[in-house]
Structure 1
Amino acid sequence: MFSHINEITPYLSTTIPTAISIAIGTIQCVESAKRAGDFYPTREAMFADGIGTLIASLFGSILGMTTFIGHPAFKKMGAKQAYSIANGIAFLPLCFFGINALLLSIIAIVSVNPIIIFIGLVICADTLAITPKRHYPAFLLGLMPIVADWTKGTIISGVSDAYTSFVINQTEFNRNVTAHISGFSYRGLLNFSGGSLLQCIFITAIFMYMIDRKFIRAAIWSLLAAFFAFFGLINAPGVGVLTKKNDDGWRFAVAYIMMAVLFVCFEFAQRQHWVKHPETEPDDLSSIEWAEWNREKLLEDENNDEENV
């Protein structure tokens, strides 16, 4: 059963973060809907995604199911349950009869890119809509691994095309070219882009809890990041037990552990009242309760601003 496990090892740093991000995407959609005034049980939404993924896998699908993004925008446009049903009916013949391939052969792929960019912007807008302003730095920093991953892919795809035109075929590109890139830290770019989807989650969570002064939670996320870095799932170009001298996985693991120790020290200082108490925000309220809490919070912030003026 596991005789060919080595063949999928290079892809684990992508598949595992993708699976986790898909699950978190469902949670994000549920939270986004709650902020728009509609409450849906998170457990039921994730259970439905899991069942859908299992059924799809029986028919050869390699894609995980997740809740449709953009609930607040669709609600503003008046879309309801029939919108999702209409989408399913529209895509059914496209997938069953292979019409997608025909359309892609007719429509230039570059014309599809703006749609993808628009979807990304919608996701970011929805995220910012439910994100407190104090978390904006964590949100923006969490996007950087994806930017690094895109940069790395652009460098490799662009340079490799030129490289193969001047050398003998079957020559290893990474060993002969990327090892000699100078002018900037390509090795650092590789580490920052390794497991980028999962890195985004860890970086955002750590800095979010650090901003909120919830140091124990930040320490837990740091320890989890250390575990993933040690096995190359983040901050590394490949998966494995990264303990060799030239590996960076163990270095990042040590760095994350040092962060965890620092957060524990801050937690001790907080309990001694040397550091402010953590920020409070209700996480499990109904949409009506959250709207009322948010209204009171905004009024309180406005009053504080007026007093400061």
Structure 2
Amino acid sequence: MNWSAIAFDWNQIRALLATIEEGSFSGAARALGQTQPTLSRQIAALESDLGVTLFERNRRATVPTGAALELVEHVRSMGEAAQRISLTASGQSSAIEGRVTVTATNIMASYYLPPIIKHIRETAPGIRLEIIASNELQDLQKREADIAIRHARPEQPDLIARLVGETTGHLYAHPDYLDRVGRPTCIEDINRLDFIGFEQNERVIEHLNAIGLNLTADNFRISCGSSTVHHALAMQGLGVTPMTRDWIEQHSELEELWPALPPIPVQTWLVTHRELNTSRRIRLVFDAIADGLDQQRRETRNRVTAI
């Protein structure tokens, strides 16, 4: 097939890449923030321009044809180059205005970020902030976010990170729940309790068993990806949930399950792309979040010390 004779529409190429990566028109439309009819029209127009069928359509799946797979190898590098151009252009921006996207966990976005965002709005009103409150990791290299607040240090060489907090995770439950089932006095007692799990319980089980427990999937009768919902469910006496000690001390009546259980180290990292770090607006937001979290940590430590 002679691709060099085709004048590509970049929107059509993005639609092709997204459909192959997501496995369906509906998934690709969600990933690109489009409606499914719009994306379908872009794919149909690309098929018409090329004179080939790119996807076999049926009720159960959207299957790329050989022509689509041949084409995608050529255009994937175009997409990666476009991302690098966008990152470089954003990184060289000198104006303290424009959009900055920050992704953080539900609890971080709900309880820690609001006063920091208020400060940013007061000092840099030209910045438009978009907060993605999710426990899912956003891909900074694909510009899904400009700044991420994570509990694990990133390994990608193109990302830079600053350690902005260290605390410990523990198991908590509502006193009513513990009154009902009995407070544990040994590991075996804990292994019989109900736990509130996350979307990927296998990883949770792995971490908790690493500190001496012997949990299985049967312990997790309720699961949710939101830490704020976890807390709300635990407050109803529905089971045990892992939470960080610093958050529990400020916001909860939950009781630590068994103080003799080893703590789980929890770090908080502020992350951005190396090239975006030269943008004045992203640098301002990055530094404001780092300073704000540090101030909150010091204030919490002083309150605990005073008590």
Shared fold per TM-score greater than 0.5: no
Larger strand share, 1 or 2: 2
Q: Higher helix fraction: Structure 1 or Structure 2? A: 1
Could you say which TM-score interval applies, normalised by the shorter chain?
Answer: under 0.3
- TM-score when normalising by structure 1: 0.22
Q: Which has the higher contact order (CA 8 A, sep 6+)?
A: 2
* Structure 2 length-normalised TM: 0.22
